Amino acid sequence: MKQLPSLTHMLTRLIAQPSVSSVSPEFDMGNRALIDELAGWCEAAGFAVEITPIEGHPDKANLVATLGRGPGGLVLAGHTDTVPCDPGLWRQDPFKLTERDGRFYGLGTSDMKCFLALALEAARGLAAEQFHQPLVILATADEESSMAGAKAIRAAGRPLGRHAIIGEPTGMRPVRMHKGILMEAVRITGRSGHSSDPRLGNNALEGMHKAIAEILAWRHELQQRYSNPLFKVATPTLNLGHIHGGDNPNRICGHCELHIDLRPLPGMDLDELRDALETRLARTLADTGLGLEVFRLFDGTPAMETPADAPIVRAAEMLTGHPAGAVAFGTEGPYLRDLDMDVVVLGPGDIEQAHQPDEYLALDRIPPTLDMLRSLITSFCLKPTR
């Protein structure tokens, strides 16, 4: 029978397999080889494994590995992909796990391949008969780019468990809330003409001036209406990030385009926000004769909130000694919430190292992470011992 390899071997192999995902096709890679190897280890540890390819991407897949049976259950989740990296900026090979100064260096150590190996290590030696609720290891594709993996899990609609930990880098502090992200474009089309006679055209820049005033008024209203003191920035934010319009001072501006970034709080629905933006701008420009298009620059990430009294939140707070907080980055959490899981984001890495050259995981984070995961498995999955 196959044996679960050592933790160091698993960490080495996970880092050695490039699994970059990117919206730029020249950087984008599959994760299938990594998923297959991880699935083999899960089988060796007694899990039943299920590999689901991502539609349209035969080289990308999700893995659901289950140990034990029963209602409810605990999901330990992580993404298998990483952001692209520039090896020239690294002091060592980003794809070679390198131990130095009490740290494991490598792309994906902190964010967040290592967590998947730690989850398996925490389950080492457990047998299916000991469980009254299942332990599920969920490994996804494409978190850093399209969220295709998490979306496929949600679309499949099958509840994986009642409680979930996503091991994103939070410095061992539990997180139960994050903001969402919307990025939208506003395109205004007028008619160009010579500047000396305004009757010859219809100025898109002047229309954009009105549109921006309306957007800022909307922002003010949103910030009056929504606030959450758990966030470092307590209100939703709306940033005017990019604008381009016109070409010459002596030409009436025919086209103008603005890109905005909106970070909603939990409780603010992405589609409702999109509708509100479009409705308000359409009303503002109604009598101008200008053309208006509002479109998304990406699909957006919903905000997430898990109730403060959820059992997994309470357990994570007790085990780490920290109250559950809020972070400014998005995760796959909202997609798991849609499947009725209570989600806590909690992992051993630090967000400061994520997406940076010389990303590392401090070795002294490993034993407390394993202890914490074992405690969670014991309290949420295992039959009481007599």
Binding site for Zn ion (CB under 5 A): 111-112, 168
> At closest approach, how far in Å is the CB of 52 from Zn ion?
20
Q: What is the DSSP annotation of 281-329?
A: HHHHTTTT--EEEEEESS--B--EE--TT-HHHHHHHHHHSS--EEESS
Inter-residue contact 134 to 73 (CB < 8 Å): yes
Out of 28, 81, 144, 350, pick the active-site residue.
81
Supply the minimum distance, in Å, between the C-beta of residue 326 and Zn ion.
Answer: 17
CB of 111 to Zn ion, least distance (A): 4
Q: 168 or 184, CB closer to Zn ion?
A: 168
Report d(CA 127, CA 113) in Å as an integer.
24
Assess whether 143 carries a catalytic annotation: yes
Measured between its terminal Cα atoms, the distance across the chain in Å is 30
147-150 long-range contacts, CB within 8 A, separation 24+ = 147/299, 147/301, 147/332, 147/335, 148/54, 148/57, 148/60, 149/54, 149/60, 149/62, 149/79, 149/332, 150/332, 150/335, 150/336
Minimum gap (Å) between residue 115 Cβ and Zn ion? 9
Measured CA to CA, the distance from residue 174 to residue 314 in angstroms comes to: 10
Read off the tokens for 335. 């997609």
Q: Measured from the CB atom, is 143 or 184 closer to Zn ion?
A: 143
Nearer to Zn ion, 54 or 211 (CB): 54
The closest of 383, 368, 363, 306 to 122, measured between CA atoms, is 368
Pairing of strands 255-263, 135-140: unpaired
Residue nearest to Zn ion (CB): 111
Residues contacting 61, CB < 8 A, separation 6+: 31, 32, 35, 51, 52, 53, 54, 141
Least Å distance, CB 331 to Zn ion, is: 7
Residues 6+ apart with CB under 8 A from 183: 259, 260, 261, 262, 296, 297, 298, 300
Shortest Cβ 110–Zn ion spacing (Å): 9
Pick 28 or 168: Cβ nearer Zn ion? 168
CB of 227 to Zn ion, least distance (A): 27
Token reading at 349? 């890495």
Measured from the CB atom, is 281 or 373 closer to Zn ion? Answer: 373
Closest to Zn ion by CB, 111 or 121: 111
Our separate counts of H helices and E strands in the chain read: 9, 16
Q: Quick one: 145 or 306, whose CB is closer to Zn ion?
A: 145
The active-site residue out of 121, 142, 143, 358 is 143
Catalytic residue positions?
Answer: 81, 143
